[in-house]
Every structure is written in C-alpha cells, then in structure tokens.
C-alpha cells in the first residue's frame, strides 16, 4: 500500500508528520504538559512520555523520529513505543489537539 493510500485510510506511515492545532496552547508544568483547546476550553494533561512526544511533535519531527527518540530517551522497546505513540496520536487527533502536517 502506498503512503498516499495509507493516509487516505487513516493508517500510519513512518513519515507521518503532525502539528499542534493553532487553537491549542501548551505549557510545561514540571514533568507534564498541559494543553488547552481555546475553542472548547477543554484542558488535557500529558504525562512525562506524552509530554516529550508533544515537544518532539512541536519541533516538527515525523512519527518515526519521535518513536526512535522516545525509545532511546526512555530505554524502551521501539515497537512498544510505536504502539503507544500511535494511541496518543489517535487521541490527540480525535480531540483536535493536533492535525496532519
């Protein structure tokens, strides 16, 4: 399946890139990141690993780079990190906190 077809079907590719929704503000508070969606006034909190993923996403890194960096920084299995990262990305997309870049 091509990357274009994978995106059309909502699947992930290693080169997928995401960006924060312009209507979302973020603030690091100790080991977490607090996100506020300005249109809905909803507040979300990301734990330490989610916070780091957010920072890498904000820096413009693609999914594969975020996955590799998280696995290295947290000394974790890259496949497991990929699964958890995809869950996080799905949730952030569903809540309209990020968008595809």
Say what the pTM is.
0.86
| Alpha helices (H) along 1-101 | 3-8, 48-58, 63-73, 78-94
Architecture of domain 22-96 in CATH? Orthogonal Bundle (1.10)
Could you count the other beta carbons within 10 Å of the beta carbon of residue 57?
Answer: 23
User: What is the per-residue pLDDT across 28-76, written as a single tens digit (0 to 9) for each?
Assistant: 999 999 999 999 999 999 999 999 999 999 999 999 999 999 999 999 9
More confident residue, 15 or 87: 87
Parse the chain into domains and list their residue ranges. 22-96
């Amino acid at each position: 399946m091509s990357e274009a077809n994978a995106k059309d079907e909502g699947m992930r590719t290693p080169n997928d890139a995401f960006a924060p929704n312009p209507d979302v503000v973020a603030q690091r508070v100790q080991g977490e990141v607090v996100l506020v969606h300005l249109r809905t006034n909803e507040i979300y909190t990301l734990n330490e690993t989610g916070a780091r993923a957010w920072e890498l996403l904000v820096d413009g890194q693609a999914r594969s780079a975020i996955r590799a960096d998280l696995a290295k920084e947290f000394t974790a299995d890259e496949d497991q990190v990929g699964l958890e990262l995809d869950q996080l990305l799905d949730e952030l997309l569903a809540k309209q906190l990020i968008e595809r870049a």
